[in-house]
Amino acid sequence: MITDPIKRGQKVLRYQCLSRDGRKCVISGIYDSESAQVPAEAHCAELEAAHIITFCLGSWKSDSEQREKAAIWVNLYRYFPGIRGCLSFFMENLNDTLNVMMLEASLHKQFGTFQLALESTNMENRYHIKLFTHFPGTYAYFLPSDRTVISSHDSRFQLPNSDLLSLHASGRAEIIDKILDYYEATRGTRRED
């Protein structure tokens, strides 16, 4: 039994996203290697629950860290007003299905380091996969040929929010990530995504 509420919440979130995403990576379509419901001919790999907006923006350990993160949120709301309605300052809201999607582990790393993004198309919940300069060519094998992704297999759980994905694709999320890294480096602390 998991007694830590954050870990328990992460486990529930993973279950919800796996269910919504059909037990597959939303980008590659590769099945989760831990799932019992995998077709015999399917490719499997380790899947991870990937946050679009980093999990660490929802918590702080001091008043100064709270002020720094509040300033980041003010700018997020200013430049991306659509996210005000779907997320708030609190950690538990960052752990919502509209801010998380299932990704194959290596694609999660590329998404988290801004070498891969999902850009909106003119069709709802369809995205073009955008690759950046340092995206490793060996991972191209994981990408669909039409470069569009995301559909729901369980309508009980919201799909990733298009405004949050637009924020990530814009590159501004990378700037926020660098600011957070700087703050934590000057304090000697480490953040979790």
- Please tell me whether residue 35 adopts helix, strand or coil conformation: coil
Least confident of 15-29, 42-56, 176-190: 176-190
**Residue 129: predicted pLDDT:** 92
User: What pLDDT, on a 0 to 100 scale, did the predictor assign at position 32?
Assistant: 96
Asked whether 128 and 145 are in contact (CB, 8 A), the reply is no
Q: Which residue has the higher pLDDT, 94 or 27?
A: 27
Of 50-64, 76-90, 121-135, minimum mean pLDDT range = 76-90
Higher-confidence residue of 168 and 111: namely: 111
Domain definitions of the chain by residue range: 10-189
Average pLDDT of the residues in 186-192: 55
Residue 178 identity: K
Mean pLDDT of 82-108: 77
On whether the CB atoms of residues 44 and 105 are closer than 8 A, the answer is no
pLDDT at res. 177: 60
* pLDDT beyond 80 at 76: no
For position 89, what pLDDT does the model report? 38
Q: How confident is the model at residue 3 (pLDDT cuts 50, 70, 90)?
A: low
Concatenate the DSSP letters of all residues of 135-169 into one string.
--GGGGGGS-TT-EE---S-TTSPPPPHHHHHHHH
Contact assessment for residue 193 and residue 56, using Cβ atoms and an 8 Å cutoff: yes
